[in-house]
Amino acid sequence: MVTPNRSVRKLRDQARRRGDDVKGRLRLLAMSVRAHGRHGTPGEVVEEATNLDPIMDAAVARARRAMRPAGIDADYDLAYEHFDVMHFLLQARHLLSAGSVDPLQHFLDKGATAKASPEINFSMRAYLSRYPGKASGRGGSSPYVDWLKRGKDAGEIADPAPGLEKMAPVLGMQPEELVKALADTRSDLQERLRTGTLGAMFARATQIEPLIGDVWTETTRPIIPPLVSRNIVGQVVAMHACQQAAAFAGARLVLVASDPRWGGGRRMEGHIAHALTGRLEAHDIVVIYTDTGGTAPPGRFPAGVREINFASEVTGADRYATHRTLVELIRSFHADAVVNINSRVLYEAMTAYGPALAASERLFLMLFCNEQLAVGSWVGVPLRFFYRCFDTVQGVITDSAYLANWLLERHQLGPEQGSRIYVLHAPVDPHMPLVSPPTSDPSRRPQVFWAGRWDRQKRIDVALEVARRMPDLDFRMWGESVLTPGHVDESPDNVRLEGVYAHVSDLALSEADVWLYTSGWDGVPSQLLEVGMTGIPIVGSLVGGTGEVLGEDDSWPVADLEDPEAYVRAIRDVIADQTRARRRARALRERLLQERTAAEFADHVAGLLLRGAARKQGEEDAG
């Protein structure tokens, strides 16, 4: 939009180049538009009255008089046509008392480091952050001059609004359309503030409350919603992107998970989703990954469950902004229940927004186990966040009675409080076939299978030590190194490293004589539930909730998990009488089939999480 003042200014600038013969006429023209801000040539500057204080008007006129005449420097002359003296001086207020300083030359000399902007719709910082290569102007000129010469017409964006390109699609615009809308808005505001009614009202209020006058500087950078700050833009854009990923549809269940979680199998979140699909549609379930993005392995969720990569959408965002965004996203689904599955971001958000969130949402925490650090101390979600969130949430869910009881005892909870702690017994897959034992061959070396993450929890060191003590057996180990790659080099000759695997069923299970499990701490691991269904004898550490799978009568639990010899004895016991061992292992399968049915699990989950669902009598709540 070209304003009348700018037209006049351009005329005058052109005239400067033509010579003195037109100056007289221009002076008359200047007199006629003295109410409007414009530039003048040195020596004939007319002090223009604006809504700012007359002292400022005088300072602007003084600065204009200090500016160079035309025809000496083409770059200067080009910048002069666009340079807004009052706008610049309102920012560079130190120049107002610096005597006779040419503000444009001052700006140009600063080059890429100039902070004050030369006109309201140009920001050096915003321009150079988009085009870092422009920091060194051609021939040493200011990036602003380069932008005026070439960049502006080439569509290079120098608008000061934060996050402009990101916000444009949310507003249904192309970035260049948004640039124009913002520029028109700012220019119009600036014009009306300086010489229109808007500014007159500002000035009038300043007479009543002089402190208002100190805000004139801020008129050089008006805040124009929704482009308020990088954080706000990031929040709005992330919210829009996540809702778009969710197809702008509500949900009945929102699972907020830290990440797609390593390993195949359904895991608890998958079990919950599958259990409810008989009662609601798969698309009624949303999974939000908050800490690390990605997608779950195939099969974890029923087809149609929506997965939202929140973590990727908020990359680089301020943590408080991230918390708020997650809270608003969760609330926007208006779900029956929200389950936090190890989402650190949600736990942190709940410390600030927990009560507000709980005012509208039925929140549940899914807890598994704590973990031991390398120095021996214990940390973890149950330790850190249970007490922080317990009073706020609808309920706490554990995968083991062990953890539920631990929470009750540690926090000395009575029956009423304890009744909000629920144990979900993950179901087993009855379709998982019994695996045939290896053929009986005296010349064959027995094989011990081990699989899992190669991290501290899984106690690779113990598994390798067991292998060292049993050179007559072969140990086949699957899994990728997560935290402790060092152990790879420590494996003895009878250990075969098989690499990564997706699911237990992918392994050559018919070659396994024994399944070894050496975890140092745990809930009820999916792996034991899966292997338990195969009929392969399990020798496993008795920690956390593993005892709810491994019974003395149907497997070989090892109480002293630090003692490799205890595992060795148990494995020897299995190998010594494979027929008896298989019979015992099949008993485990039968027990799991009875104790962990999909139907009971589904009833329990539905009763707990779905609004209006009848709570099943006799469900096994810890309280």
Partner 1 sequence: MTTDLTVIVTAHNETAVCGPTMRAADLAVGAARARGFTVQTVIGLDAPLPVTLVYFQQPHFDHWERRVLDERDLGMVRNALVRGCDSRYVAFLDADDLFSENWLAEGVAALDAAAARGEHAIAHPELNVIFDGESAVLLNIDQGSPLFTPYYLYFRHYYDSLKMAPLEAHLEMPYVPRDVVNGLSYQDFHFTIESLASGWRHIAVKDTIIFKRRRDFSLVTESNTRKSVVRALPAMAIDRIRDLGSARRDLGSARR
Q: Which of 80, 107, 147, 202 binds partner 1 (CB under 8 A)?
A: 202
Q: How many residues bind partner 1 (CB under 8 A)?
A: 60
Nearer to partner 1, 320 or 378 (CB): 320
Which among 30-38, 96-104, 347-355, 463-471 is the span making contact with partner 1, rule CB under 8 A? 347-355
Q: Which residues contact 44 (CB under 8 A, 6 or more apart)?
A: 23, 27, 30
Nearer to partner 1, 28 or 248 (CB): 248
- The least CB distance from residue 284 to partner 1, in Å, is 13
CB contact at 8 A, 40 and 80: no
Nearest to 216 by CA among 127, 89, 124, 320: 89
- The least CB distance from residue 27 to partner 1, in Å, is 32
Sheet holding 395-398, edge to edge: 306-308, 285-289, 253-257, 337-341, 363-367, 395-398, 421-423
Phi then psi for residue 123, to 5 deg, are -125, 120
Q: Could you please report the per-residue DSSP string of 475-521? A: EEEE--BSS-GGGGGG--TTEEEEE--S-GGGS-GGG-SEEEE--SS
Nearest to 571 by CA among 437, 486, 475, 444: 475
CB contact at 8 A, 526 and 426: yes
Residues of this chain, 238-297, that bind partner 1 according to CB under 8 A: 239-240, 243, 246, 248-250
- The least CB distance from residue 209 to partner 1, in Å, is 4
Distance CA 619, CA 622 (A): 9
| Residue 353 is a binding residue for partner 1 (CB under 8 A) | yes
Q: Which residues contact 580 (CB under 8 A, 6 or more apart)?
A: none
| Residue 98 is a binding residue for partner 1 (CB under 8 A) | no
| Residue 333 is a binding residue for partner 1 (CB under 8 A) | yes
CA distances from 252 to 249, 342, 561 (A): 10, 20, 42
- The least CB distance from residue 277 to partner 1, in Å, is 21
| Residue 111 is a binding residue for partner 1 (CB under 8 A) | no
Distance CA 585, CA 590 (A): 9
Distance CA 344, CA 255 (A): 13
| Residue 623 is a binding residue for partner 1 (CB under 8 A) | no
> 474-478 and 538-541 as β-strands: parallel, antiparallel, unpaired?
unpaired
| Residue 209 is a binding residue for partner 1 (CB under 8 A) | yes
Distance CA 131, CA 6 (A): 28
Q: What is the CA radius of gyration of the chain?
A: 36
- The least CB distance from residue 71 to partner 1, in Å, is 38
| Residue 192 is a binding residue for partner 1 (CB under 8 A) | yes
Which among 135-143, 233-241, 292-300, 439-447 is the span making contact with partner 1, rule CB under 8 A? 233-241
| Residue 35 is a binding residue for partner 1 (CB under 8 A) | no
- The least CB distance from residue 466 to partner 1, in Å, is 51
| Residue 320 is a binding residue for partner 1 (CB under 8 A) | yes
Nearer to partner 1, 215 or 373 (CB): 215
Distance CA 89, CA 362 (A): 55
Nearest to 103 by CA among 114, 115, 89: 89
- The least CB distance from residue 90 to partner 1, in Å, is 12
Dihedral, CA of residue 374, residue 376, residue 380 and residue 383, to nearest 10: -170
Q: Which of 324, 459, 476, 596 binds partner 1 (CB under 8 A)?
A: 324
- The least CB distance from residue 345 to partner 1, in Å, is 15
Which among 12-20, 215-223, 339-347, 405-413 is the span making contact with partner 1, rule CB under 8 A? 215-223
| Residue 355 is a binding residue for partner 1 (CB under 8 A) | yes
Helices 564-576 & 578-595, crossing angle to 10 degrees? Answer: 110
| Residue 123 is a binding residue for partner 1 (CB under 8 A) | no
Token digits of residue 252? 């009945």
Nearer to partner 1, 332 or 405 (CB): 332
| Residue 152 is a binding residue for partner 1 (CB under 8 A) | no
Which among 78-86, 200-208, 570-578, 582-590 is the span making contact with partner 1, rule CB under 8 A? 200-208
Nearer to partner 1, 212 or 613 (CB): 212
For 68-84, what is the HEC assignment?
CCCCCCHHHHHHHHHCC
Distance CA 51, CA 194 (A): 5
CA distances from 525 to 330, 407, 426, 429 (A): 28, 19, 9, 14
| Residue 224 is a binding residue for partner 1 (CB under 8 A) | yes
Residues of this chain, 164-183, that bind partner 1 according to CB under 8 A: 170-173, 181-182
| Residue 598 is a binding residue for partner 1 (CB under 8 A) | no
| Residue 225 is a binding residue for partner 1 (CB under 8 A) | yes
Which among 225-233, 363-371, 445-453, 493-501 is the span making contact with partner 1, rule CB under 8 A? 225-233
Q: List residues binding partner 1 (CB under 8 A).
A: 170-173, 181-182, 185, 189, 192, 196-198, 201-202, 204-205, 208-209, 211-212, 214-215, 217-219, 221-228, 232, 235-236, 239-240, 243, 246, 248-250, 320, 324-325, 327-328, 331-334, 352-353, 355-356, 358-361
